Structure formats: structure tokens, C-alpha cells
Amino acid sequence: APCAVCTVAAHAGIDSDYETGDVTPALHLSSTFRRNADLSHMKGNYVYGRVGNPTRDAFERCMAKMEGGNDALAFATGMAAASAILQA
């Protein structure tokens, strides 16, 4: 049977954190992320908050699941979304 929207919204895009045991994802407010001495990424592919962060990734996975899609994109403004569509 299909899940109710509330159930999907509560669980989609969420992976428990094996390091801390969190079952609800933390809000990552960082604007920049640490790098190794050779400038490679330490964890994930996160460099700068406007480009992406773990919180936005979880939100995009949740939206994709709720809409029945494979992927979703989140933008900070409507103009950013419109620009992405027009430049695609």
C-alpha cells in the first residue's frame, strides 16, 4: 500500500548517522568545509555551502521521494531556479 505523504516526508532522504547514532539528520549550517593538505575533500563532495551541503542533499532526496521522481534540485531563490531552467 502507498505511504501517506506525512510518512514519506518523515522518512525519505534520511539515513541514520552511524558515527553519532542520530536518526534525525543534523542541520549543517557551515558555509565552508575542511579539506586535506592536498586540497582534496575530507568527507563527501562538499566545498562551499552555496554549492551543496548534507542538509540540502537530504532535502532533495526527500522531495524526489515525495514527488515520485529519481532526483530533485533545491534552489535558494525562484530566480536561481528560473536561471537553471533557462540555461539547461
Question: Whose CA is closest to 63, among 54, 74, 52, 55?
Answer: 74
User: Whole-angstrom Cα distance, residue 46 to residue 29?
Assistant: 12
pLDDT tens, position by position, 37-65 = 887 777 767 777 777 788 888 889 888 98
DSSP state of 70: S
User: Whole-angstrom Cα distance, residue 21 to residue 63?
Assistant: 24
User: Whole-angstrom Cα distance, residue 56 to residue 49?
Assistant: 9
The fraction of the chain above a pLDDT of 90, given in percent, is 19
Reported confidence tier of residue 87, pLDDT bands at 50, 70, 90: very high
Reported confidence tier of residue 3, pLDDT bands at 50, 70, 90: low
Q: How many other CB atoms sit within 10 Å of the CB of residue 67? A: 11
